[in-house]
Homo-oligomer: A and B are copies of this chain.
Amino acid sequence: MKDICIVLSGEAGQGIQTVEYVLTRVLKNSGFHIFATKEYMSRVRGGNNTTEIRISSERVRAFVEKIDILIPLGKNATGRLRDRITRETLIIGEESFIKDAGGEKIEVPLLEMAERIGNKLYANSVAIGLVSGLLKADRETLKLQIRKQFEDKKEEVIKQNIDAALEGYKRGEELSGRIKVSLKRDDAVKKECLLNGAEAVGLGALAGGCNFVSSYPMSPSTSVLVFLAQNKSDFGIVVEQAEDEIAAMNMIIGAWYAGARGLVTTSGGGFALMEEALSLAGMVESPVVIHLAQRPGPATGLPTRTEQGDLNLVLYAGHGEFPRVIYAPGNIEEAFYLTYKAFNVADKYQVPVFILTDQYLVDSFYNLPPFNLDDLKVEKHMVKTGEDYIRYKLTENGISPRGVPGYGDGLVKVDSDEHDEFGHITEDFTTRVKMVEKRLKKGEELKKEVLKPKLIGDENYKVLLVAWGSPLEVIKEAISDIKEVALLHFSQVWPIDNSVAEYLKRAQKVIAIEGNATGQFANLIKAVTGFEVKERILKYSGLQFSVEELRKKIEGVV
């Protein structure tokens, strides 16, 4: 693949996010495929954060370690990247920002250029222009995007920022010879959209009919809450920041009881507090949709980093036994479609449904064709109650028609105690047994809707990689050139069915790739199929996998 990887680096509060935002749009609208992801510290000012932007002639969707161009936006912005800087890395910027770094340095006095135009603060615009020029992006697009970015500002400020960007552009163009890769453009890309994982989850929720969100802020899940809050008026959604996670989850169950479609978004530690209420959902047979964006634990851990360490947590969350569904989207498209689907599945089976993402997925974005909404539909499984309505009617498949209060002539009685068909508390042992079996039957039913894992790569594989959730695209790229290797990727991690074993047995070697320290999914596969995935590539530093490290490790074992 022909691609260029640009990294922006600076302190929290220096505006990397603005540069990232504008630059990715300029580049995409110039016809380049792009991918971007960030890593940042759990602080508001200072420290060191970076954003990686990959620009390519083909679709690009994964994190790489190599840095072709590094733009430090302040002092001490290159130290943490030491291991990723090679002799080929172009480091462009203020002399004082680049001086400590290795690589090929090109001094560009961004601050001075900005000041000349009117204000030091325009340095970020110069930088945006600089990169645009380097890649010969579309000038008009650059101007447009800068204008959009500052549209709330006075015309003079907008103009000066545009000038600054153009100054940068000029300097960039001059330097463009230093870039050895030449990228093709594709006009079709311009019509594509740029979305990050959080937005995809949010849009999926909207498409799933979500009209009630209650959550307590917690990185990295808050962005979904923010997305829905920003759009609440347009969609008539109730968005409530709860006093704690316990309230949030109980509210959502209350909301579903009254006929709303509710979502909580949280992270592992917040979810740990919701488990009693999850068990409540299991018992009262309430639908509920939970978006859990993973970060490294235990406890507070690394609040703004990524990990896949909470699979076991959600698999077994809550006391007692009741069924659940766990989706683990591998990319942005899946984040959208699975979140959408989660609402219908939750409603139909009256069970909790999880969307298990992580910081890497929610904070990454790439260009993709707009989702096709034509086949999407909010399937409401709610019924109008009759006089003789009973909430927990025993049925063949365990699913009872779900009524809501005030809709129809019946009363809707739900109970966290073991209950009879009416919903009244009972201590009758026979009823107890029937109700346990009723709830578990829904778990059996759910197996009929299981999403099969996807086999990617060489169908005649000797080595089979097994993965779930967000490493999908990284692995895909890593194995794109390796023969006899395939990836079996799970976007649904519970339930999974035994048929999986067939894939595994066909391989000479099976390797699990997971972003945790114990191989939770590999262990789950063994628990379900008895098949032991002995080799494991695990990462638990707080960072996502990179294409290079996986390629190396996989080549090492092939």
Cross-chain contact of A272 among B41, B318, B436, B530 (Cβ < 8 A): B318
Query: How far, in whole Å, are A318 and B310 apart by their CA atoms in the complex?
Result: 9
- Chain B residues with CB under 8 Å of A524's CB are 527
Chain A, interface size: which category?
Answer: 35 or more
- Chain B residues with CB under 8 Å of A313's CB are 316, 318-319
Known: A313-B316, A541-B429. A299 touches B280 (CB 8 A): yes
Query: How far, in whole Å, are A346 and B302 apart by their CA atoms in the complex?
Result: 25
User: In the complex the two chains form, is B279's CB within 8 Å of A272's CB?
Assistant: yes
User: In the complex the two chains form, is B315's CB within 8 Å of A316's CB?
Assistant: yes
Task: Across the interface, name the chain B residue whose C-beta is closest to A47.
Answer: B427
Q: How many copies does the complex hold?
A: 2
User: In the complex the two chains form, is A526's CB within 8 Å of B530's CB?
Assistant: yes
User: In the complex the two chains form, is A309's CB within 8 Å of B302's CB?
Assistant: no
- Chain B residues with CB under 8 Å of A47's CB are 427
Cross-chain contact of A321 among B298, B302, B319 (Cβ < 8 A): B298
- Determine whether A297 belongs to the interface, using a CB cutoff of 8 Å to chain B: yes
Known: A429-B542, A517-B440. A418 touches B296 (CB 8 A): yes
- Determine whether A545 belongs to the interface, using a CB cutoff of 8 Å to chain B: no
Query: How far, in whole Å, are A273 and B430 apart by their CA atoms in the complex?
Result: 30
User: In the complex the two chains form, is B273's CB within 8 Å of A299's CB?
Assistant: no
User: In the complex the two chains form, is B298's CB within 8 Å of A318's CB?
Assistant: yes
Known: A276-B272, A429-B541. A282 touches B298 (CB 8 A): yes
- Determine whether A433 belongs to the interface, using a CB cutoff of 8 Å to chain B: yes
- Chain B residues with CB under 8 Å of A273's CB are 246, 273, 275-276
User: In the complex the two chains form, is A302's CB within 8 Å of B530's CB?
Assistant: no
Cross-chain contact of A282 among B299, B302, B417, B523 (Cβ < 8 A): B299
Query: How far, in whole Å, are A532 and B528 apart by their CA atoms in the complex?
Result: 9
Query: How far, in whole Å, are A323 and B557 apart by their CA atoms in the complex?
Result: 30
Interface string of A400-432 (1 = CB under 8 A from B): 000000000000000111100000000101101
Give the Cβ gap from A169 to chain B, nearest Cβ, in Å.
35
Query: How far, in whole Å, are A42 and B427 apart by their CA atoms in the complex?
Result: 8
Known: A272-B276, A540-B432, A542-B427. A309 touches B299 (CB 8 A): no
- Chain B residues with CB under 8 Å of A540's CB are 321, 432-433, 436
Interface string of A467-489 (1 = CB under 8 A from B): 00000000000000000000000
Cross-chain contact of A427 among B302, B517, B523 (Cβ < 8 A): B302
- Chain B residues with CB under 8 Å of A300's CB are 283, 415-418
- Chain B residues with CB under 8 Å of A440's CB are 517-518
Known: A429-B543, A517-B436. A299 touches B320 (CB 8 A): yes
Q: Give chain A interface residues in 319-344, CB to chain B under 8 Å.
A: 319-322
Cross-chain contact of A319 among B269, B284, B302, B318 (Cβ < 8 A): B269
Known: A432-B541, A517-B440. A427 touches B279 (CB 8 A): no
Cross-chain contact of A268 among B319, B433, B527 (Cβ < 8 A): B319
Question: Max chain B CB contacts within 10 Å: which of A267, A268, A318, A433?
Answer: A318
- Chain B residues with CB under 8 Å of A541's CB are 429-430, 432-433
User: In the complex the two chains form, is B516's CB within 8 Å of A321's CB?
Assistant: yes
User: In the complex the two chains form, is A297's CB within 8 Å of B279's CB?
Assistant: yes
Query: How far, in whole Å, are A515 and B321 apart by their CA atoms in the complex?
Result: 12
- Determine whether A231 belongs to the interface, using a CB cutoff of 8 Å to chain B: no
Task: Provide 14 A-B residue pairs closer than 8 Å at the C-beta atoms, listed in order of the A residue.
Answer: A42-B427, A279-B297, A282-B298, A282-B299, A296-B320, A298-B319, A299-B417, A300-B417, A303-B417, A309-B320, A321-B540, A433-B540, A440-B517, A523-B527
5 cross-chain pairs, A with B, having the tightest CB-CB distances, nearest first:
A297-B320, A268-B319, A298-B320, A527-B527, A283-B299
